[in-house]
Amino acid sequence: MTPSVLPRRLALAGLAALAALIAAPALASPSLGKPAPAFTAVDSTGKARTLAEFRGKTVVLEWTNEGCPYVQKHYDGGAMQDLQTRAARDGVIWLSVISSAPGKQGHKTPAEANAWRTRTGAAPAAILLDPKGQVGRAYGAKTTPHMYIIDPAGTLVYMGGIDDQNSADPATLAGAKNFVVAALADMKAGRGVARPVSPPYGCSVKY
Amino acid sequence: MTPRLAGLVLALTVLLAPAAQAAAVDTGHLQAELITQTPAIAPGQTIQVALRQEIDKGWHTYWRNPGDSGQATKITWTLPPGWTVGDFVWRAPQPYPVGPLVNYGYSGEVLLPMALTAPAGAPVGQAVTLRARADFLVCEDICIPESAELELVLPVQAQAPAPAGRWAAPIARALDAAPRRADLTARFETGEQGLKLAVTGPALAGQDLAGSYFFPFDGAVIDHAAPQSVERGPQGLTLGLTASYAFQGPEPPEVLIGVLKAGEAYYEIEATAGPLAPEAAGLGPPPPRSGGATGAGLGLALALAFAALGGQILNLMPCVFPILAMKAASLAGHAHEVKGARRQGLAFLAGVLATFLALAGALILAQAAGAAVGWGFQLQSPPVVAALCLLMLAVALNLSGVFEVGASLQGVGSDLAARGGLTGAFFTGVLAVMVAAPCTAPFMAPALGWALTQAPASALLVFAALGLGFAAPFVALAFAPGLLARLPRPGPWMIHLRRVLAFPMYGAAAWLLWVLTLQAGPMGMARLLATALVLALAAWLYGLAQGRPGGLGLRAGAAGLAGLAIIATVYPTYPQAPAPGAEPGGTVAELPYEPYSPERLAQLRAQGSPVFVNFTAAWCVTCQVNEQVALARQGVADTLAATGAVYLKADWTRKDDVIAAELARHGRAGVPLYLVYDARGSAPVVLPQILTEAAVIRALKAAAG
């Protein structure tokens, strides 16, 4: 072993160790029946929105990514827009959240987000832009779509998939059991949410 | 017909017979086709067919549970009446981390076998066309749903065909590699410790279980991205999992079904809720694998060089000072008789080597038996700490002149360390290593981390090199008459030197008492103080006896008391100290910290906070020195406050499997280890083991970006 080899091998060993240690930052995992994680995020109109400002109203959080085929399944035929419109009619605050990091699929600038809303006829109360993924991580959002419902007292009452059809095929919309519709109906009727959790499905959130 | 002829006929039959045909379909990011293990099928026969995927480089498809996102590969057959096909036989998947998520899937070539059965009335002599639609979600960073309409043309023949053709062997291998049920018993339990899954059975007993992992069939039961801790037991293992949302629902899971990766083997298990088998735990996490360890890239030669260098540096570590002081005094006494000095130097070397090898041997054996031990492990045991404390006290009392050992006055050291010249030097070496062990010097950490993952012979060599390095300065001194000659001649000054050197030894005893207090609480401390008192009395009685001819009664009394003191340090067992958090290190508590847990670390990282993790132990003097000179500093406190970084302390003073596993994950066998995680979720930066305030501040600022 020559003296010059040693530092280089050391450096290599160090690099290898670093590479081996790449550990993804973890997601938090929110608890049903507990206060939903508070957040502050800027919406597509540039306004800072917080969960607290909607206290007293039911809030739906919808993680979305325009490029994701599973999201497209719900938007292309207008199914998601329909849900958003109906929610608004019932006084439910629907927040679409984009947690894609800059450069990743689905990332949107405020102008792009507004254009997307116009183009698709989406009707959320606001589109929250979360390019650093802080809101997504706080809620443990894994997929697009990934749905959360927070009751007027700020308690998390539903989390999971939008329906029971883990597929990107639009044909599966017909006959699907929509868990968000069911949960909102339960809440409107003053019942507990019968099915408060379900498997989220779709593309991974592009943190 | 001779066998050869029979083979030829068979080969011709295969060549001439119409064989199963299928064409591969390119779906965009993969090639898909249906393949068969036999060239044909007989009525009523069940053969193995498989969906073969050749996935583009960098892309993957999914397992039956795709993990946090994704979708399992699906096949929908259109079969003529009477034909049936079974489900995929899924090979165990690979975890694919995507940012903070983990998916389970496959890349490259994937075979998913299925059992296909022809009806008894299948038309012999005809070829049947079987159609299937395969749906894939193919993902790189983004995901694309792709599908293929596949066709399989399969001749039906009267004679049941044997496996043959290009795909016979690959399908056989795929079936062989599939996880199978073994005679395993699995139970799971949820509690404050999270979700624990214990699996026992003969197939797991005594296996290398490093890297064990549970892949659930159901995507709702565990947090796929959370690390799974592994604890071994005499008959199996216990995995520490993180329960997922299914456990929050109104009907929490009653069974956990999935694939257990145990070492390199895969088993399908079905765990029911219930008390965990005690034989599935108790032996700590598996020893670290060489893969991914800091020292993994080291060859034996380099490890030996590091070890020898590290051994020399070990002489500079604070924990060895008192022993070295003692050795210096001994050497001074022999300075002017060259021959004696040399023999003493060699005896010291022998003592050092023997102890290093004995400790290493014990460590290797303990690890082989499955205990979660690392370097310095002996100081995690309260009885050992207590015994060492008494030993230090005895040495100190001896140096103070309370008693002498044997008739000789020239030996310096404890009862053992002072016996004659050579035995004394030998045991000085033993003593030095015993207390030096917890001070893993910077160069030793990778070498030891490497050594403990190697074959015992290589590991022992590394430890021997460490011992050589450690003893080298003294041996060199003993063999350098020029240096020795500079020391003053023996005389009354030696008595003063011995009296002075007693104080570092009292200090060492006090330090070990403090260590024990952290491990066993105030009651442990009270007990050790009482035994120390008894031992001191015994030493004084012994000293008294030495002054009188006869004095047998006094000697017997001293021996009795000393025996009593030693027994009392070992038995009964020590209580566990109260949990950390209210740590008595209050004098340096200007630096606010939280106790480390993997969950807290994950939570902080999820929040995007920079995190500084200090893996430390009370018995690790290097750690304590670093805390004083580099961490408990206003500059560090200010930087922590300014950057919003959180200081987590992982205290390894007591045996802690979670911390041991985390150290192993970073390729370390001991403390200290300092990690700085930045706010952006990158891999942690490992700080040097000798810290400076400036280095800590720099790293924190870089992490806050």
Give pLDDT tens digits for B227-239: 888 888 888 899 9
Q: Per the omega criterion (within 30 degrees of 0), is the bond before B592 cis?
A: no
Please tell me the least confidently modeled range out of A76-80, B327-331, B396-400.
Answer: B327-331
Kindly list the residues from chain B whose CB atom is less than 8 angstroms away from the CB atom of residue A12.
297
pLDDT at B266 over 80: yes
B297 and A16 within 8 Å at the Cβ level: the answer is yes
pLDDT at B691 over 90: no
- Tell me the percentage of chain B whose pLDDT exceeds 70: 80
124-183 in B: which are within 8 Å (CB) of A? 135, 137, 139, 141-145
pLDDT bin (cut points 50, 70, 90) of residue A30 is confident
Give pLDDT tens digits for A36-52: 999 999 999 999 999 99
3-state secondary structure A36-78: CCCCEEEECCCCEEECHHHCCCCEEEEECCCCCHHHHHHHHCC
Give pLDDT tens digits for A118-168: 999 999 999 999 999 999 999 999 999 999 999 999 999 999 999 999 888
- Bridge partners, residue A185, by sequence: none
| Residue B526 φ/ψ, nearest 5 degrees | -60, -40
| B205 interfaces chain A, CB cutoff of 8 Å | no
The confidence score (pLDDT) of residue B611 equals: 92
Please tell me which of the candidates B245, B665, B683 has its beta carbon nearest to residue A197.
Answer: B245
Residue pair B48/B169 in contact by the 8 Å Cβ criterion = no
> For the residues B167-184, what does the mean pLDDT come to?
89
Helices marked H in B411-491:
422-436, 444-451, 456-478, 481-485
Q: Which residues contact B631 (CB under 8 A, 6 or more apart)?
A: B588, B591, B614, B691, B693, B696
Q: How many CB pairs under 8 A join A and B?
A: 152
Q: Give B579→chain A minimum CA distance, Å.
A: 25
The confidence score (pLDDT) of residue B14 equals: 43
Give pLDDT tens digits for B620-663: 767 777 787 788 888 888 888 888 889 999 988 777 778 887 88
The confidence score (pLDDT) of residue A17 equals: 36
Tracing tokens 């959370």 back to the chain, one arrives at: B226
Report the distance separating Cα B651 and Cα B155, nearest Å: 68
Cα-based distances in Å from A80 to A157, B69, B128, B354, B441:
20, 20, 44, 74, 61
Q: Give A85→chain B minimum CA distance, Å.
A: 27
| A170 interfaces chain B, CB cutoff of 8 Å | no
The confidence score (pLDDT) of residue B607 equals: 81
Nearest CA in chain A to B610: A25
The confidence score (pLDDT) of residue B576 equals: 60
A204 and B220 within 8 Å at the Cβ level: the answer is no
Residue pair B487/B332 in contact by the 8 Å Cβ criterion = yes
Most confident of A58-67, B157-166, B455-464: A58-67
Report the distance separating Cα B539 and Cα B558, nearest Å: 7
Average pLDDT, chain B: 79
Sheet holding B74-78, edge to edge: B74-78, B127-139, B143-155
Q: Give A52→chain B minimum CA distance, Å.
A: 19
Sheet holding B594-595, edge to edge: B594-595, B646-651, B611-616, B673-677, B685-687
Please tell me the least confidently modeled range out of B246-250, B376-380, B592-596.
Answer: B376-380
Q: Give B20→chain A minimum CA distance, Å.
A: 32
Report the distance separating Cα B492 and Cα B499, nearest Å: 11
- Tell me the percentage of chain B whose pLDDT exceeds 90: 23
Residue A83 Ramachandran class (φ > 0 left, ψ -120 to 50 alpha, else beta)? alpha
Per DSSP (E only), the strands in chain A are 40-43, 48-50, 59-63, 93-98, 126-129, 143-144, 147-150, 156-160, 203-204
Q: Which residues contact B350 (CB under 8 A, 6 or more apart)?
A: B426, B429
- Tell me the percentage of chain A whose pLDDT exceeds 70: 87
Q: Tell me the pairing of strands B61-67 and B101-106.
A: antiparallel
Rg over CA atoms, chain A: 20
What amino acid occupies position B130? L
Q: Which residue has the higher pLDDT, A182 or B322?
A: A182
Kindly list the residues from chain B whose CB atom is less than 8 angstroms away from the CB atom of residue A168.
71, 137, 145
The confidence score (pLDDT) of residue A61 equals: 97
pLDDT at B264 over 90: no
> For the residues A74-86, what does the mean pLDDT come to?
95
pLDDT bin (cut points 50, 70, 90) of residue A24 is very low
Nearest CA in chain B to A21: B683
B302 and A22 within 8 Å at the Cβ level: the answer is no
Buried b (16+ CB within 10 A) or exposed e, A153-184: ebebbbbbbbbbbbbbeeeebeebebbbbbbb
pLDDT at B581 over 70: no
Q: Which residue has the higher pLDDT, B156 or A21?
A: B156
Report the distance separating Cα B613 and Cα B596, nearest Å: 7
Kindly list the residues from chain B whose CB atom is less than 8 angstroms away from the CB atom of residue A169.
135, 145
Helix (H, G, I), strand (E, B) or coil at B167: coil
Widest Cα–Cα separation across chain A: 79
pLDDT at B376 over 70: no
Please tell me which of the candidates A1, A32, A195 has its beta carbon nearest to residue B301.
Answer: A1
Residue pair A181/A57 in contact by the 8 Å Cβ criterion = no
Of the candidates B583, B531, B584, B536, which has an alpha carbon nearest to the alpha carbon of residue B558? B536
Kindly list the residues from chain A whose CB atom is less than 8 angstroms away from the CB atom of residue B244.
29
Give pLDDT tens digits for B591-612: 788 889 888 888 888 887 889 9
Q: Give B477→chain A minimum CA distance, Å.
A: 26
pLDDT at B114 over 90: yes
Angle at alpha carbon of residue B195, lines to B201 and B677, rounded to 5° = 115
Residue B120: CB atoms within 10 A of its CB come to 10
| B76 interfaces chain A, CB cutoff of 8 Å | no
- Is the ipTM beyond the 0.90 threshold? no
DSSP letter, residue B629 = I
The confidence score (pLDDT) of residue A7 equals: 38
> For the residues B544-571, what does the mean pLDDT come to?
78
Please tell me the least confidently modeled range out of B243-257, B478-492, B518-532.
Answer: B478-492
Give pLDDT tens digits for B28-81: 899 999 999 999 999 999 999 999 999 999 899 999 999 988 889 999 999 999
> For the residues B496-520, what does the mean pLDDT come to?
82
Model-level pTM?
0.54
A196 and B249 within 8 Å at the Cβ level: the answer is yes
Q: Give A169→chain B minimum CA distance, Å.
A: 9
Buried b (16+ CB within 10 A) or exposed e, B136-158: bbbbeebbbbbbbebbbebbbbe
> For the residues B184-211, what does the mean pLDDT come to?
85
Kindly list the residues from chain B whose CB atom is less than 8 angstroms away from the CB atom of residue A2.
none
Give pLDDT tens digits for B453-497: 666 777 788 888 888 988 888 888 777 767 766 666 666 777 787
A202 and B69 within 8 Å at the Cβ level: the answer is yes
